[in-house]
Structure 1
Amino acid sequence: MAKPSSAPIAVVGLACRLPGAADPDAFWRLLGRGEDAVGEPPADRWSASAPRRGAFLDEVDRFDAAFFGISPREAAAMDPQQRLMLELGWEALEEAGIVPGSLAGSRTAVYASAIWDDYAALHHRRGEAAAGRHSVTGLGRGIIANRLSYVLGLTGPSLTVDAAQSSSLVAVHLACEGLRHGDADLAVVGGVNLILSPGSSADSARFGALSPDGRCYTFDSRANGYVRGEGGVAVVLKPLDRAVADGDRVHCVILGSAVNNDGASTGLTVPDQGAQEAVLRAAHARAGTDPTAVQYVELHGTGTPVGDPVEAAALGAALGAGRPSDAPLLVGSAKTNVGHLEGAAGLVGLLKTALAVSRRRIPASLNFREPNPAIPLDALGLRVQTRESDWPEPGRPLVAGVSSFGMGGTNCHVVVGEAGRVPTPSADAVRSGDGAREPLAWLLSGRDTAALRGQAERLRRHQERYGHDALDTAYALAAHRTRFDERAVVIAEDAAGLLAGTAALARGEEHPAVVRGTVGGPVRTAFLFTGQGSQRAGMGRELHERYEVFAAAFDEA
């Protein structure tokens, strides 16, 4: 029997690039609206003679190579999955309040996951003449993780996991174990999946895995396979005690996890109920959680006629048994919204669950009308979450599970809980003592002028949508963002003035609230002692009375 884990792991950063959702907030809105992002492939992706419905990203060929210090020639040779991992890793760290450049030399680990090589297949189709000096590193799947470690100078473990469709959740498990055993102090875990060639979809269709009508009917009587999805998710993990000490915002905690394999089941790709039941029990044993405390499970839920009944039976035996008939275990699957991201699917499920825990709402699982006849939901103590709702027992500590199973029998389950009352950093520490209205400064920067203006526009849209406190925003911009050479400061006494200045900066217009500049070369410090006095008795008294930071520094001096 597995022992309870001694160190919960905090999820402190989230990032995603999913169909119809460019960030976690957009993904949450997609889930809340009960929509799916399934459609036809982009017109420039491949020949119209080979259409295959799925959930696709737009403009996967776009990449700001210079931002990451990569030459155009090397960028062209890189699998876009490498590029996507770089972008997601950077965004997840910033969302965690960590300046990526500050981690150089640190024991930060990178665990990535991917299972397809579509870009390599396209490359090799062009023949030997297409090979170049960047082909090996550009096409190697292991480099998906190594590239982020190299760009940011991270010295912790760095590897790409391929355990078939359970890869990304297995990567989360490995990262948590590495953090608990001291292999690293921080971990970035990302899963990526891009459908760049019709060949991999054709292979999946011949295997019999894909839904002919391009829908995922999880646990439904119409279940006939899954629809493929592409994109990626990244999370930043840290031991909970360190996250609390650092004042991090904690989205949720990973209480425990487990991985096993079906072994010699009835077929290489046939799921095994006993193995799935065992991995569920092992994960909860390590987490030290009572199975009846689990209120929701994010299913593997591919909507296949064989897989769904096996998963339901295992879940019912391990977590559904003994529940009151009026309090079944809620289940659902994000695959009904964004398709099956295969090597990144487990992280999509973890992202959905982290958002459900932190926002204390459970989104609906789509495309469910009546249960698969082979899934007796009531007898198993399960119920498909068909509408968004509060948690069944919001007064209890929120506990959920996330499952992910690979076609070769590698099973993974992660137990997720809420963080409780973890201190969150804010600007309160720098607020003036008397609450007087004073000018605020929003600091922005970019690699070049276009990037600076783009940052200003994103900030403006973000503030208008969410209306965050202007001082909290100023604090986050000053403390948690990389400072690039093209810089601007927007200064105003209220949010309206700050937004007006930001809008002008985004348009490239002059504005009295905006100061712009470019970082020059190295500077030398000079001192001028004039010998005559602008000094006065009591100079600095007002600063001392108004600003605690100034007063403390003055008193110490």
Structure 2
Amino acid sequence: MSHAETPSDIAVVGLAARLPKAAGPGEFWQLLENARSAVTDVPAGRWEGIPDDIRPLRGGFLDGVADFDPEFFGISPREAEAMDPQQRLVLELGWEALEDARVVPAALADTRTGVFVGAIASDYAGLVHRHGLSAVTRHTLTGLARGVIANRLSYLLGLRGPSLTVDTAQSSSLVAVHLACESLRSGESELALAAGVHLNLTAETAVSAQRFGGLSPDGRCFTFDARANGFVHGEGGAVVVLKPLAAALADGNRIHAVIRGSAVNSGGATAGLTVPSARAQRDVVRAAAGRAGVDPRDVRYVELHGTGTALGDPIEASALGAAYGAGRPAGDPLLVGSVKTNIGHLEGAGGIVGLVKTVLAITHRVLPPSLNFATPNPRIPFEELRLRVVTALRPWPHDDRPLLAGVSSWGVGGTNCHVVVGEAPTTRPTAAAAGGAAAGGVAAVGGP
């Protein structure tokens, strides 16, 4: 079953991801479905020079971060060497996402296709600057510019729509999705690629988070658990291809899921710059549900921001309870979970990874478990708020009704984003169609 589409609905027609222990969406889904953790010890060559009192550290890491085929993208080896690996990763994932959408990249030249990329890290610039002026070349200016992460993809494909890198701290990539949807709704863009990318390349990345007090000394993310004591680092990226639902249906596109509505706000003045506002989180969730035109009680699952911090978890829970829990029967709680328990916190890319997880859960019509949940956080009144953590692979509740979920992402400085996503307005997917959502890997179908 499905809902009646509205002019504001945005279809997810393509996706790609490269995440810890998952080279593509298919491997990512297997990791989620099998309740596996991709968190490991720090690989050799990363975070060298960290003081002994900060070790041991763990996180979710990509293999082959330095791997790149510049010839495929028409880039010289010398320029490729000067490029932030985040630029390279977005090029690869953008190409893969278009292939998943069955779009010939060359066909997009001179079209109003937008690119919106959430990214907050500049670790590669730090590595280059350690080598002084001798490391600066004619390619350094563009190679290290964060704004160029989006521009690289627009340039490669000859796109004429908006092209911007978004930085709202940890909510960046979900805000990028929101901006992409708004651009499509206004007609500014006719197609959009929304993305998030994050790589942890320097010791400073780990040290700053540890000294801020955000890292879990256990090397695990205990979201909504009594042991919640911080997050673990993660890295990788994801891209979704977005199109107005009416156009996607008219063109016969395969639709993975539909973005029904989204909203962004700020926490305003709280007890401190990094202290979340339960009121603002509640309001942004309500605003997104209102724009989606859905009854909050019909939302069955929320992919949490869910970092597993002692301060943040109870605040997020109270906001969700106020926005989605009110009026729900005691036996029909809102199900919640956090992908950060599987792969760590991808910070600027964390929100879009939560969106990809939710899209795959809708496609496969099952909810994967959130890890590391054993003892409910005593500061969260689960029954009163009508919340329940998904702890085992399970079907969606009320599967006879259209599937609806929310995805949340909060920035450390107070920028909040929430997206409401649902199933496509088609009959239930066959096994073959569901498997198509799992395609991954850079296809060798010729260069740009």
Bin of the TM-score, shorter chain as denominator length: over 0.9
What corresponds to 2:58 in structure 1?
A: 53
Q: How far is the alpha carbon of 1:5 from its aligned partner?
A: 7.2
What corresponds to 2:237 in structure 1?
A: 232
What corresponds to 1:401 in structure 2?
A: 406
Query: SS where residue 241 of structure 1 aligns?
Result: helix
Evaluate the alpha carbon distance shift between residue 220 and residue 246 of structure 1 in structure 2; reply closer, same or farther with a 3 A threshold: same
Contact 2:47 2:206 in 1 (8 A): no
Which residue identity is paired with 2:66?
D
What corresponds to 1:392 in structure 2?
A: 397
Q: 2:343 and 2:73 mapped to 1: Cα distance? A: 29
What corresponds to 1:369 in structure 2?
A: 374
What corresponds to 1:503 in structure 2?
A: none
* % identical equivalent positions: 62
Alignment of 1:84-99 (within 5 A): 84-99=89-104
Query: SS where residue 236 of structure 1 aligns?
Result: strand
Evaluate the alpha carbon distance shift between residue 220 and residue 73 of structure 1 in structure 2; reply closer, same or farther with a 3 A threshold: same
Q: 1:34 and 1:421 mapped to 2: Cα distance? A: 29
Q: 1:292 and 1:467 mapped to 2: Cα distance? A: 31
What corresponds to 2:74 in structure 1?
A: 69
Contact 2:297 2:328 in 1 (8 A): yes
Which residue identity is paired with 1:260?
N
Equivalent pairs, count = 432
Alignment of 1:525-540 (within 5 A): none
Is 2:185 aligned against 1:184?
no
Q: 2:38 and 2:156 mapped to 1: Cα distance? A: 32
Alignment of 1:111-260 (within 5 A): 111-260=116-265
Q: How far is the alpha carbon of 1:113 from its aligned partner?
A: 1.1
What corresponds to 2:295 in structure 1?
A: 290
Q: How far is the alpha carbon of 1:49 from its aligned partner?
A: 5.6
Is 2:270 aligned against 1:265?
yes
Which residue identity is paired with 2:223?
T
Query: SS where residue 39 of structure 2 aligns?
Result: coil
Q: 2:50 and 2:349 mapped to 1: Cα distance? A: 28
Answer with 1 or 2: which has the greater Rg: 1
Which residue identity is paired with 1:386?
T
The counterpart of 2:112, out of the listed 103, 107, 112, is 107
Which residue identity is paired with 1:156?
G
Q: How far is the alpha carbon of 1:48 from its aligned partner?
A: 7.3
Q: 1:12 and 1:423 mapped to 2: Cα distance? A: 16
What corresponds to 1:544 in structure 2?
A: none
Q: 1:47 and 1:25 mapped to 2: Cα distance? A: 32
Contact 1:113 1:190 in 2 (8 A): yes
Q: Which 5+ residue runs of structure 2 have no aligned equivalent? A: none
Contact 1:247 1:423 in 2 (8 A): no
Q: Which 5+ residue runs of structure 1 have no aligned equivalent? A: 427-465, 486-557
1:337-359 Cα offsets, whole Å, 9 max, x none, are 01000000000100000011111
Q: 2:297 and 2:357 mapped to 1: Cα distance? A: 21
1:534-554 Cα offsets, whole Å, 9 max, x none, are xxxxxxxxxxxxxxxxxxxxx
Contact 1:190 1:234 in 2 (8 A): yes
1:145-201 Cα offsets, whole Å, 9 max, x none, are 000000111110000000000000000000000000011100011100001111111
User: Which fold has the larger relative contact order, with Cα–Cα distance below 8 Å and residues 6 or more apart in sequence?
Assistant: 2
Which residue identity is paired with 1:23?
G
Evaluate the alpha carbon distance shift between residue 201 and residue 393 of structure 1 in structure 2; reply closer, same or farther with a 3 A threshold: same
Q: How far is the alpha carbon of 1:482 from its aligned partner?
A: 7.6
Is 2:324 aligned against 1:319?
yes
Contact 1:249 1:422 in 2 (8 A): no
Q: 2:274 and 2:428 mapped to 1: Cα distance? A: 46
Is 2:80 aligned against 1:79?
no
The counterpart of 1:342, out of the listed 347, 351, 359, is 347
1:269-315 Cα offsets, whole Å, 9 max, x none, are 00001000100110011000000000000000000000000000000
Is 2:27 aligned against 1:22?
no
What corresponds to 1:7 in structure 2?
A: 8
Which residue identity is paired with 1:25?
G
Q: How far is the alpha carbon of 1:45 from its aligned partner?
A: 2.4
TM-score of the pair, normalised by structure 1: 0.75
Contact 1:12 1:248 in 2 (8 A): yes
Is 2:436 aligned against 1:484?
no
Q: 2:288 and 2:335 mapped to 1: Cα distance? A: 18
Q: 1:258 and 1:113 mapped to 2: Cα distance? A: 16
RMSD (Å) for aligned C-alpha atoms? 1.9
